[in-house]
Structures are given as structure tokens and as C-alpha cells.
Structure 1
Amino acid sequence: MSLPFTLLIDPVSVDSERISFDDTFHEMDSAAPALRVGELSAQRGDGIFETLSVVNGHPQEVEPHIARLRDSAEICDLPVPNPAQWRAAIAYAVARLPQQGELALKFVLSRGVESGPAPTAWLHATRAADFGAVRATGVRVVTLDRGYPRGVAERAPWLLMGAKTLSYAINMAALREATRRGADDTIFVTTDGYVMEGPTSSVIVRIDGVYVTPAPNGAILHGTTQQSLFEYLRAQGVPVEYRDVTLSELREADASWLVSSVRLAVSVTTLDGAPMRTDFAVSNEFNSYLLGRTDN
């Protein structure tokens, strides 16, 4: 099957033991029209998504991605996705995709057409960009104020900050601002000086030999790649920790990384124009591990 590849999904939210998946997937031409004008994902960004990596025919972190999709659905008052159906859709797609190289597999659940009878769901696969160079050389990062103090997600859950929604205008604006400032990427910080995450990545810092990531509270997504790397580190007896991280701790860290499903792990080489300590040996170790996984 050539890329891009698109699969429409008929969402079902009942017990997987009573479902036949035979007629729930529909392959379609990725260049053909698929969404109606009234589709709320396009009109309002009213939906949720996940993007996983497929490396040499192996989909990565399937279960964490599906679990996070379900969490996002609950936060956004969407029908809770049926895990068995989404596992089957991912397996169906992967079996029809090229079995060599790195691919990006995005799956989406939208509220559908306004006043419509059902949500809309689809899966779309493309070849991943070549991130070999940035994995080897790292990224220049600027910090940007997210406009909220720490704890806002608990006080204002209607902001949906813990959900991975399709409303990415702010995230993309932050990346454009990084470019305007001569950088490659961004780390969001709270108004009171705590590290959050990147627009499309999680943050890992090493402080006195301990690998730390900001606690995945209601304002921070629990990164699937970050979780995988922490499992890897724990297996090697390396200490890891979830806790609040101040901006000053980030600046003084032994090393720091932005990690995400498709780009994987990249070192932060400068922060707001100041050089950062780096450990490219660990970056290479992280990426070798992430690229070599053959389980889900």
C-alpha cells in the first residue's frame, strides 16, 4: 500500500466482546474528500487525536496512546473509544503499510457534524520526516509563558488542558514564535515559573543524576515516549522522578531533552540563547532504544 494511507472508522463504544469489526473500517483514497463542511473537527477543532510511530512495521506504544485517547475523550465529553476497535484499526493499517522505515500514524476522534447522530473517526498514515540530523545535533529552545499559573487545570477543568485536542493553533503559534526568535522549538512555562511541556513534546531533565519530568497533572499530557524512556531507565537501575520542575532547575540541569513519538529524543542545546549542558551519548542511547523496540 502506498502512502499516505487513510482509514475511516465507524466508532463503537460498547463491550468489545459483542462487536464484529468486519464492517467498521473503510479504506479510502487519501486525496479524496472525506469530511463534510459541518464537521466540527474542521470548524472548531472539536476533537481529540494521537500520533504514534511505526518503525520497520512495528507500531510503538499502542496501549499508552489508546489509553490517552480514552482519557482525552472523557475530559472532552466525547464517546469513550472502544480499545479493541482502535487496536484492530491500527493493526489493519500497519499490515497494509510499508514494513521498512519510519512512519507516522495519526488517529482522530471528532465530535462529528453539529447535531449529527455520531462522532467521526479516522486514521491517517504518512512517512515520517527525516529527523536523523536533529537527533544528532539537538535543538535550540526558547521558553514561552503559557499564560497560566501552576494548578490552573484543577481550578478550571473546562480549559481541557489535560486532553490532546485538535485545537493546536496555540501550539503552532508557539513554534512560529520560536522561529522568529532564532530557535527551533519551545518549552512552555507557567506564569509562576514552572516547566510544563513543549507544543508537541514532553520535557525530560537530568538533575544530579536523576531523570526528572514535570508531574503529569491536569495541565500536562503524560507523554507516551517519556513513559517508555522512564521504563527503560528504571530497568537499568537509573533513578527517575515525576515532580514540579522550576525554570531555574531547567537552566542548571545536567542535560535536557524534548521527547515525542515521531521525532523521538532530541537534546536541548541552548535555552533562551544561553548554552545548555548536553549528553549526546545518552541521546543516542535513547534513540537506539526507541528505534529498536519490537513490542507495542
Structure 2
Amino acid sequence: MTWRFAIVLEPAAPDDSRTDFTAGFREIDPSAPALSVGELSTQRGDGIFESIGVVDGHAQEVQAHLERLAHSARLCDLPIPHLEQWRQAVAVAASHCPPVGEGVIKLILSRGVEHGPAPTAWVTAAQAPDNTRVREDGIRVVTLDRGYSLDTPGRAPWLLLGAKTLSYAVNMAAIREAKRRGADDAIFVTSDGFVLEAPTASLVLRSGDRFVTPSPNAGILHGTTQLSLFDHLADIGHETAYETIPAATLAQADAAWLLSSVRLAAPITAIDGVELPVDRELTASINAYLLSPRD
């Protein structure tokens, strides 16, 4: 049986001195209409969001997600979220998740109603899809041109590269194109031939005992799951690094994964039709770590 939960909150100013914000949370029916027709999140995708994995009722990596929400807000000229208010909203949502199983909590902050006085904010919780198969069997990916060069983010900050915005039409189109090409997912590359990220995930490559992810200086969304995994790998003695990775070298990796908060670690079995080794034992170990309680 599937389950869902939703609350609306009135965004507090960053300097609000209250310690308890729960009285301002309003539970709503997640299956009922809730947004105005003038809401800019639906009209223009003008807003930001975060997806937080939930394991056995525990919301994972909450602080990292809240910090990234604030980072996206700064890039998009949105009011900076009051992190304690949002933390309490996450706690309320998590308390409505079942004590066993996986879920996802979404934080959404939009510019609000067109010409309106304030932003709109809400938090939802829902059952996560069953990702057992992709975690165990892996995924095939293709590379797709993202349409800009490696130095574009620095020259054109108005493109909001590196912000987790609600404007996900391109990301979804990329996944559909990957499936048209007989793959499960995509890896974006720059027009001058460097690796970026997947439409909804971070990329991690292993070469020997060394784990590498593309440097975030090219407008890459810094992955919370990737950050947590790198901390874990460093703790157990592995070398980790952020590098500018030529797309031509992708298939030379000893192993590769796409990482996200809900799917967790999906091993890559092929890139552009070239088979890639899959380290099943290491993948199982990584996912066991990612399924453990993490704050």
C-alpha cells in the first residue's frame, strides 16, 4: 500500500528568532488541489527543491540537503530559507513515514504567485520506488551533449547551472532520449568533451583504489550522496578526488556508479554500448553504507 503526506509552511526570515516553527505548519491532503493557478513553480518552473531519502523512518543527510537548498536559493535570488524551520518541517514529514522501508521527502520553495507578496513553500513525503533491481543488476548509460562548454558556468551565471531548480524538463528529456537509444540513463558531457553528471544523479568512477567524481566547477550540482560516500571511502582508507574528466576516458574506469539520494548507488554496466566491469561486492557494501542511518 502506497502512502503520502504533505504540509505547507510560510517561509520564515533567516533571522527569525523562534525556536519552534511547528505551529505554522499546515497539513494538507496530498491528493487534493493545493496551488494557485498563478503559482510560478508550475507556470515557469521558478523555484528550487531537494529530495531527501528516508530509510526506516530516518531522513538521511538532512543538513547537507538544507545547505544545498540555501545554495540554490542564493543562485536563484530567492529568499534564503530559515534552515531550522525547514529542519523541523523535515522532522514532521519523517514522523509520518512508516518505520520500515524507504521513502522520499521533498522540499519545494518557489517564487510564489505571480505578482504575489511572498514565496510558496511545502514539504511532501511519499513511498520511494523499489530500486533493488538497479542497485543489484546495474544500468546502461549513454553520453549526451549538454550543449555548453566547460567554462560556460563562469561566463553565464544566469543559466543557474549548479542550482537544483524545478526546471527539470531538459533532464527528463535526456532520460527519454537515453531510453530511445536502448539505455536506462544518461551522462551529460560538455560540448568540448568533458564529463558532467547524470540528469538526476552524480557520477563516481573507480580506478584501482582511487575514486573520482567530476569537479563541480562546471556547474555540476554537488551531490549529497556522493559527498557522504566520499567521506566514508576516505574513512576506510581509499583515495578520493574531484577532477576534470575527459569523456573519452569514461570507458577506461574499473567500475562506475550513478549516485542519488533515493536510488542510491546504481552500478554502470555499459557506457555508449561499451561494457564496463561491475564490482558487485563493492556495490553491495556501498549501498549497505548508504542505507545505514546518516545525519
TM-score (normalised: structure 2): 0.97
Residue matched to 1:229: 229
**TM-superposed deviation, 1:92:** 1.1
* AA at the equivalent of 2:280: F
Residue matched to 1:33: 33
Q: In structure 1, what is the Cα distance between the partners aligned to 2:254 and 2:9?
A: 45
Residue matched to 2:140: 140
Residue matched to 1:266: 266
Residue matched to 1:120: 120
Residue matched to 1:95: 95
* AA at the equivalent of 2:263: R
Q: 1:265 to 1:159 in 2, by over 3 A?
A: same
Q: In structure 2, what is the Cα distance between the partners aligned to 1:28 and 1:104?
A: 17
Do the aligned partners of 1:139 and 1:184 also contact (CA within 8 Å) in 2? yes
Q: 1:287 to 1:22 in 2, by over 3 A?
A: closer
Q: In structure 1, what is the Cα distance between the partners aligned to 2:166 and 2:13?
A: 21
Give the CA RMSD over aligned residues: 1.1
Q: Which moved more, 1:209-218 or 1:76-85?
A: 209-218
2:239 counterpart of 1:239: yes
Q: Identity over aligned residues, as a percent?
A: 53
* AA at the equivalent of 1:237: G
Residue matched to 1:295: 294
Q: In structure 1, what is the Cα distance between the partners aligned to 2:20 and 2:274?
A: 56
Do the aligned partners of 1:204 and 1:256 also contact (CA within 8 Å) in 2? yes
**What CA deviation, in whole Å up to 9, does each residue of 1:78-113 have, x standing for no partner?**
000010000000011111221110001111000000
SS in 1 for 2:134: helix
Residue matched to 2:86: 86
Structure 1 residues 181-260: aligned runs within 5 Å: 181-260=181-260
Structure 1 residues 273-284: aligned runs within 5 Å: 273-284=273-284
**TM-superposed deviation, 1:28:** 0.8
**What CA deviation, in whole Å up to 9, does each residue of 1:229-258 have, x standing for no partner?**
001001001100011111122110111100
Unmatched tracts of structure 1, length 5 or more: none
**TM-superposed deviation, 1:19:** 5.3
Q: Which moved more, 1:201-210 or 1:7-16?
A: 7-16
SS in 1 for 2:219: coil
Q: In structure 2, what is the Cα distance between the partners aligned to 1:12 and 1:149?
A: 38
* AA at the equivalent of 1:21: F
**What CA deviation, in whole Å up to 9, does each residue of 1:208-248 have, x standing for no partner?**
32100001125101100000100100100110001111112
SS in 2 for 1:34: coil
Residue matched to 1:162: 162
SS in 2 for 1:86: helix
Do the aligned partners of 1:151 and 1:219 also contact (CA within 8 Å) in 2? no
Do the aligned partners of 1:203 and 1:214 also contact (CA within 8 Å) in 2? yes
**What CA deviation, in whole Å up to 9, does each residue of 1:13-64 have, x standing for no partner?**
2325335414321101111111000000000000000001000011101001
Q: In structure 2, what is the Cα distance between the partners aligned to 1:234 and 1:170?
A: 34
Residue matched to 2:62: 62
Residue matched to 1:14: 14
Count of residue correspondences: 294
Q: In structure 1, what is the Cα distance between the partners aligned to 2:291 and 2:208?
A: 27
Unmatched tracts of structure 2, length 5 or more: none
Q: In structure 2, what is the Cα distance between the partners aligned to 1:32 and 1:164?
A: 26
Q: In structure 2, what is the Cα distance between the partners aligned to 1:251 and 1:173?
A: 24
Q: In structure 2, what is the Cα distance between the partners aligned to 1:284 and 1:208?
A: 18
TM-score (normalised: structure 1): 0.97
Q: In structure 1, what is the Cα distance between the partners aligned to 2:204 and 2:25?
A: 37
Q: In structure 1, what is the Cα distance between the partners aligned to 2:217 and 2:24?
A: 34
Residue matched to 1:149: 149
Q: In structure 1, what is the Cα distance between the partners aligned to 2:215 and 2:13?
A: 30
SS in 2 for 1:147: coil
Q: 1:134 to 1:210 in 2, by over 3 A?
A: same
